[in-house]
Amino acid sequence: MSRAYRHQLNGSDVERGKVQLEAEGVSLSFGAVKALSGVSIKVRQGDIHAIIGPNGAGKTSLLNCTSGLYRPQQGSIRLLDGKVRELTRTRPSRIATWGVARTFQNIELFRHMSVLDNLLLGRHVHMRHNLLNALVYVGAGRRQEIEHRELVEEVIDFLELQAVRKLEVGRLAYGLQKRVELGRALCMQPAILLLDEPMAGMNAEERESMARYMLDVNELAGVTTVLIEHDMGVVMDISNRVTVLDFGNVIADGTPDEVAEEPQVVKAYLGEQ
C-alpha cells in the first residue's frame, strides 16, 4: 500500500499555463469613492499570482468581487474552468461550489470547534447528505463520511497539523490558525485559491513556514493561487506573476523582476522625489 495521497487537492481541469480566471474592466465604487476602475487581470493555471499595491489600492475589493461578496457596477469576472462562468452576478455560496476558495485577512474560523471540525466544514460544498442518511450512520452516508474524513486527514498530513487535530481552534497560536484556514480552503479541493494576506501579523518564523506551505500547495498539489500580500520579500520570492494596483488601477503586470523595474511601481511604493 502506497503512502501517496489518494485525493487530488487541485479541483481544476484547466491545463497548466492556460488562463483560468479573467477579470475585464471591473469597476466598483462605494458612493463617490472609486475602489476599482476598469481593472483587467488574467490568472493562469498553476501560477502563484500576487496582487500588490499600497493601502486602499483595491486589492481586497478585487478579491471580494471575485468571491461574490461585492458586486462591481461594471465589468465581468469569468472563471474558465470547463464552462465559462460569470462570477459578478452570482451568490458567494454558488461561487464556492464552482471551486473558488478563499481565506480572509482576519481569521474567519469557528473558534470553539476543533481543527478537525473546521476542516470538515471545508468539505461542505461536496457533501450530498439528506437529513436521513446524515442522521443514521449507514450505507451511502457512512461511505461519504469516511471519504471526507480521509481527504481532510490528507490535508492535515500535508500541512502538518497532526498535533493540533483535536484542539479547539481558538486556543491555537495565531500562525497556526492561519494554517488551519488555509487547510479549510484546501479541503474544498479548490479550482483556485484566493489568499488575503496570509502572513499578516506573523513573526518571521511563522512567515517562513507559511511561505513553505504555500509553495507546497502550488508545486505539489498544483493549485492556482491568487495572493494579496504586503511583504515584498515574500511576493518576490514565491510568486511567478505580479499585478500592481494603485488607486483602483492596474499600473503594472508581469513577472516579479519586470514589475520591480517599472518606474510607476517604484513611484507608487516609494513616492516621488
Partner 1 sequence: MTASKLTFPQLLDRLATTSGDEAALQEKRYGIWQPITWSGYRQRVRRFAHGLASLGFKRGEVLAILGDNRPEWLISELAAQSLGGLSVGLYPDGIVEEVEHVLSHAGVRVVVAEDQEQVDKLLALRGGGRIGGVEWVVYYDPHGLEHYDDDCLIEFPELERRGDELERERPGWLEKEVERGEATDPAILCTTSGTTAKPKLAVLTHRNLLSMGAGLMEVDPIDRRDEYVSFLPLAWIGEQMISVACSLQAGFTLSFPEDASTMQSDLREIGPRLMFSPPRIWESLVSSVQVRLQDAGWLKRASFRWGFKVGRRVAEARIRGGRLGLSLRLAHGLAELVALRPVREQLGLTRIRHAYTGGAPLGPDVFGFFHAIGVNLKQIYGQTEICGIAVLHRDGDVRYNTVGTPLPGTELEIADDGEIRLRSPAVFAGYFRDERATDDAVDAGWLCTGDAGYLDDDGQLVVIDRAKDVMQARDGTPFSPGFVETKLKFSPYVQEAVVFGGDRPYVTAMVSIDMANVGTWAERNSLSYTTYTDLAQKQRVYELIGEAIARANEDLPESVRVSRYVLLHKELDADDDELTRTRKVRRGTINERYAPIVEALYDEGAESVAVKTAVTYQDGSRVERELDLRIQAMNGLALSRDDVRDDVGIGV
**Positions that interact with partner 1 (CB under 8 A):** 1-5, 116, 149-150, 153-154, 156-158, 160, 162-163, 165, 216, 220
Comparing CB distances to partner 1, the nearer of 2 and 130 is 2
**Rounded alpha-carbon distances, angstroms, from residue 239 to 17, 21, 153:** 14, 17, 27
Comparing CB distances to partner 1, the nearer of 127 and 167 is 167
Residue 159 identity = L
Q: How far is the CB of 216 from partner 1 (least distance, A)?
A: 8
Q: How far is the CB of 144 from partner 1 (least distance, A)?
A: 16
Comparing CB distances to partner 1, the nearer of 56 and 222 is 222
Comparing CB distances to partner 1, the nearer of 46 and 72 is 46
Q: How far is the CB of 270 from partner 1 (least distance, A)?
A: 24
Say how many residues make up the chain: 273
Comparing CB distances to partner 1, the nearer of 112 and 165 is 165
Q: How far is the CB of 237 from partner 1 (least distance, A)?
A: 10
Angstrom distance (rounded) from CA 34 to CA 150: 45
Q: Note whether 115 and 161 are within 8 A (CB).
A: yes
Q: How far is the CB of 221 from partner 1 (least distance, A)?
A: 10
Q: How far is the CB of 259 from partner 1 (least distance, A)?
A: 21
Comparing CB distances to partner 1, the nearer of 205 and 272 is 205
Comparing CB distances to partner 1, the nearer of 161 and 191 is 161
Q: How far is the CB of 229 from partner 1 (least distance, A)?
A: 18
Which neighbouring-strand residues pair with 252? 244
For residue 249, is it left (φ>0), alpha (ψ between -120 and 50) or beta? Answer: beta
